[in-house]
Amino acid sequence: MILSDADILDRLAEGDLVVEPIDDVDQQVQPASVDLRLGERFLEFQRTNIPCIHPTEADEVGDYVTETHVPEGEEFILHPGDFVLGTTTERVEIPPDLLATVQGRSSLGRLAIVIHATAGIVDPGYKGQITLELSNLGTAPVALTPGMRVSQLIFTELKSPANRPYGVERGSKYQDQDGPQASRIGADPEFGADGDEETEGETATEGETATEGDT
């Protein structure tokens, strides 16, 4: 069952579902979703001279991205073909009996801006800001302004609460993330790291479903 605006407001009031800060409830709480705003930090992918990026090598992944801070009121120009990681302004806490899905707003979609590549799921138990995978599929640059409503979060009630929700007990990689986070796939157990299987919660994702929760 997908939560309506009344259901969402009830769960927010109870405190087990957290989306904060919500500056304007009437504007951000939609009939069956909550609009989330674009944060001020971006991770931009740099062109490099190395033959390829090895996802399992943390140093390579880290060297491939640089963080850019754009204060609210200024613009981040997303050019055609660009891919950057952004973040929501809001921090969320998803209870064990809910699954959240991140979707783009249709008004931005009509400008050829997509807000996730594969990471569209926010797992039960996830806490933190949500990393957005921003792409411009169009032919013209588009100016994005921190603070603008850029995505929406839809909540689905599970038949029963998750026995092992996203979090520390699972060894989840992105729990309590603050700002956009680069890939930590090298921490997956199939590459020799300790931890649980990836679910991506982090909207994961978002074949490989990763989710914000991507463990």
Q: Would you name the residues annotated as active-site residues?
A: 133
- The pair of three-digit structure tokens given for residue 52, joined into one six-digit string: 């390829």
Contact 151, 103 (CB under 8 A): yes
The upper half-sphere exposure of residue 114, i.e. CA atoms within 13 Å in the direction of its Cβ, equals 14
β-bridge mates for residue 146, sequence order: none
- The pair of three-digit structure tokens given for residue 116, joined into one six-digit string: 């996730």
Rounded-to-integer distance, Cα 79 and Cα 135, Å:
8
- The pair of three-digit structure tokens given for residue 82, joined into one six-digit string: 């660009």
- Please report, for residues 65, 92, 191, the alpha-carbon distance to residue 170 in angstroms, rounded to integers and kept in the order given: 27, 19, 16
User: How many residues are given for the chain?
Assistant: 215
